[in-house]
Amino acid sequence: MINRADAVDEAFKKTVLEEQFPIPLSSTSLDESGLSPYQLVDLFHTQIMSRHGDLLARKLRARGESFYTIGSAGHEGNAAIAQAFRPSDMAFLHYRSGAFFTQRSKQVPGTTPTYDLMLSFVASSEDPISGGRHKVFGSKALSIPPQTSTIASHLPKAVGAAYSIARSRQLKLEPVIPHDGVVVCSFGDASSNHATAQTAFNQAEWIAYQGIPLPLVFVCEDNGIGISVPTPQGWIGQAFSKRGVMKYFACDGLSLLDTARVAREVEYYVRTFRKPAFLHFRAVRLLAHAGSDIESTYHSQQQILETEEQDPLLHSARLVLENGLLSKEAIVELYEKTRKQMERVAEVAITRPKLRTSQAVMESILPPSLKKVLSVPLETLQAQRPALFAKEAKSLGEKQPLSKHLTWGLADLMAKYPQTVLFGEDVGKKGGVYGITSGLQSKFGLKRVFDTALDETSILGAAMGMAHNGMVPIPEIQFLAYLHNAEDQIRGEASTLPFFSQGLYTNPMVLRIAGLAYQKGFGGHFHNDNSLAVLRDIPGLIIATPSRGRDAALMLRSCAKAAVCDQRVVVFIEPIALYMTRDLHEKGDDLWADYYPDPFGNEEIQIGEFGIYETHPGTKPDLTVITYANGTFLTRQAADHLKQVAQVKLRIVDLRWIAPIREKELCELVAQDKHVLMVEECRRTGSLSEGLMAMLAERLPRGPRLHREAAEDCFIPLGVAATSGLPSKESIAKKICEILEIKP
């Protein structure tokens, strides 16, 4: 079998020397392109560099030295797109944008694109962006956040980043992206069909339709195929050329001159009018999808040859030759000279150190803390607070339920941190479905508290994009079940960014989600969801689950500090059933309401810190219950009942945090206990209690007997049956009595 990479390599030299170039599809001249003769040769050289990078990656792979062979061959014309934009214009790049990356590197003195890419190909720990964790196009100096996406899941955050540019200026914040900057986002034609991509296109138009500035360029690199599935001929043009708000541009990606001409038009349009544009870049795909892809299984030999004849490097060589810039011999000499230079660089790269241990790999899961944090001085906060809380002056001194603590907690945080913005569905004038954000828009204005379209992917994408530009978003997901529509934005994008950039890029946020069970009159799995499994296994994610108001306010402050100061991604789960709960045992006892903690005091609940309640303080408990959120409330009810009727001595550990869990402290706490009961409001399978029981059994093989009272593996129905499959005060009490072998 003929190696197609070798065939394309040899065909280039042969075709140039014989001057048997493909027929051009575009008639754009050098003058019309806006390029100087030098710039055309420079772009051609960039294309050659990108091509040799692809060829070298495959040769190194055959030697066991390289680990990535999805190349940019056929897409090298995107170098002209890079040339049209400023290096400060943030770019979220498709994995076939090698020439774009290289050309942008040429715009920033001191960068070493060839060496950097070779380090990436060989997974060296000295790779300046990912540190050997993945092959990505990324660079802090080049304003290119690394993308690992292959399904366009990076598009929503590109929308958010573009949206943040004007908002940053309006809020007088120090931006990462210049106020006159734009955002570039490239992706493949097959990925344009993905739900995440469609979400981003819709969100961009939804924003621009309202006259809100959105300087964003979607670059669709259309090579006509997604792995083995062809894109219907004309589909991209048909699907995007007639959209009303997002202006459509198209270029011949095989022609540097036509691409340069159109890219300049796009750049001028977007930068001047601050509106989104769609650049349809028509390319070809050479060397199959990747080194492991056998193209002959789905394309005939004739089809493969016809595609290779349209090699963009051949089109560029013709332009250079026709414009009298280089002879054919000089073109081949440049091609071979570049090869040798890059081979020498590659041989150095393969000698550089690699990641060898899990500890080394994991070093970048958590982002670095900031040395300087934007916050309002304490004296100013103290002076402004009476006016900010003027309407709540009386109620501030009274005991309040969870909901009010959250409302006030958010207000204090937004007053302290001017870079925070709060948004989501119905959070503005309405104040949220449950009134948690009530009054915040009037306190902080439309620029900091605003409603979004009804789309969770867009909300999370906006949060990530705004965080890229120096803001700390506080997005809201209206119900826990709605997160599942968009969970990859947290799992595959937000939480991985520090890991794949060695902490050079971060997207901190505090994601608020109303959720969990026990809404008796509001059943159904979309509103009464009792599953946190999708969040629990995400490395580095902080997950807060308060059970009562004072805890919630203090935990919210710790979450905000983690996001603002430590650049962490935080998920704050709010138990809906406890929002308005004031009473613990009987109507009017007010035992579950709390006084709001002094915002200027020293009281705090650190991340991972437990809450502990004992029915008989100072004595050894008969049993320890480990629980959280609604489980804490119900267990407290059961505990006080058992204390009265049977003098049962219980210790209740309110975890407060689903992640991280202080495992060592928890083990030390229960090591001498006889029994430990997990009360779990989430479903038995995939629940937190499963993991905790395994951890305790592993660490304390001679420790307490472990028991569990968890929700059934069932969805939650509507009406009086809503809580039938969930733990209750009665079921918890009964379980404890069974364990201790006493009568209830």
d(Cα 377, Cα 386) in Å, to the nearest integer?
Answer: 16
Q: Label residue 292 by pLDDT band (50, 70, 90).
A: confident
Give pLDDT, residue 68. 84
Q: How do strand 183-188 and strand 91-92 relate by DSSP bridges? A: parallel
Residue 598 DSSP code:
P
Structure tokens at 541: 């994610």
> Are 219 and 191 within 8 A, CB to CB?
no
Mean per-residue pLDDT of the chain: 95
Give pLDDT, residue 703. 92
**Enclosing H/E stretch for 721:** none
229-272 pLDDT per residue, tens: 999 999 999 999 998 899 999 999 999 999 999 999 999 999 99
Structure tokens at 166: 């004007």
Q: What is the CATH number of domain 378-578?
A: 3.40.50.970
Give pLDDT, residue 523. 62
**% residues pLDDT > 90 (the chain):** 92
Show the beta-strand stretches assigned E in 358-405: none
d(Cα 493, Cα 482) in Å, to the nearest integer?
Answer: 18
d(Cα 226, Cα 152) in Å, to the nearest integer?
Answer: 13
Query: Per CATH, is 4-352 categorized as 3.40.50.970?
Result: yes
Residue 1 has pLDDT above 60, yes or no: no
Q: Label residue 51 by pLDDT band (50, 70, 90).
A: very high
418-463 pLDDT per residue, tens: 999 999 999 999 999 999 999 999 999 999 999 999 999 999 999 9
Integer-rounded Cα radius of gyration of the chain: 29
Residue 718 has pLDDT above 70, yes or no: yes
Burial classification of residue 598, based on how many CB atoms lie within 10 Å of its CB (0-12 exposed, 13-18 middle, 19 or more buried):
exposed
d(Cα 37, Cα 320) in Å, to the nearest integer?
Answer: 8
d(Cα 156, Cα 163) in Å, to the nearest integer?
Answer: 11
Distances (CA, A) of 11 to 252, 285, 305, 418, 441: 22, 16, 11, 59, 64
Closest CA to 408 of 390, 423, 383: 390
In sequence order, the 6+-apart residues with CB closer than 8 A to the CB of 113 are 49, 101, 102, 105, 106
Q: What is the largest distance, in Å, between two alpha-carbon atoms of the chain? A: 99
Structure tokens at 75: 């897409």
661-693 pLDDT per residue, tens: 999 999 999 999 999 999 999 999 989 999 999
103-134 pLDDT per residue, tens: 999 999 999 999 999 999 999 999 999 999 99
Does residue 318 sit in helix, strand or coil?
Answer: helix
In CATH terms, the fold of domain 611-740 is: Rossmann fold (3.40.50)
500-550 pLDDT per residue, tens: 999 999 999 999 999 998 887 666 677 878 889 999 999 999 999 999 999
Show the beta-strand stretches assigned E in 684-724: 705-711
Residue 597 DSSP code:
P
Q: Return the domain boundaries, the chain.
A: 4-352, 378-578, 611-740
Q: What's the whole-number mean pLDDT along residues 29-39?
A: 97
Structure tokens at 342: 């890059």
Residue 149 has pLDDT above 70, yes or no: no
CB atoms within 10 A of CB 365: 14
CB atoms within 10 A of CB 233: 9
> Are 259 and 39 within 8 A, CB to CB?
no
**% residues pLDDT > 70 (the chain):** 99
595-645 pLDDT per residue, tens: 999 999 999 999 999 999 999 999 999 999 999 999 999 999 999 989 988
Beta bridge partners of residue 511, listed in sequence order: 571
> Are 650 and 675 within 8 A, CB to CB?
no
Give pLDDT, residue 151. 80
> Are 147 and 161 within 8 A, CB to CB?
no
d(Cα 355, Cα 45) in Å, to the nearest integer?
Answer: 33
In sequence order, the 6+-apart residues with CB closer than 8 A to the CB of 635 are 625, 627, 650, 652, 679, 732
Nearest-5° Cα angle at 456, 453 to 457: 105
Does residue 139 sit in helix, strand or coil?
Answer: strand
Give pLDDT, residue 146. 95
CB atoms within 10 A of CB 430: 13
Residue 716 has pLDDT above 90, yes or no: no
Does residue 614 sit in helix, strand or coil?
Answer: strand
d(Cα 404, Cα 202) in Å, to the nearest integer?
Answer: 35
Q: Which amino acid is at 86?
A: R
pTM of the predicted protein model: 0.95
The residue with tokens 């042969």 is 14
Q: What's the whole-number mean pLDDT along residues 701-726?
A: 90
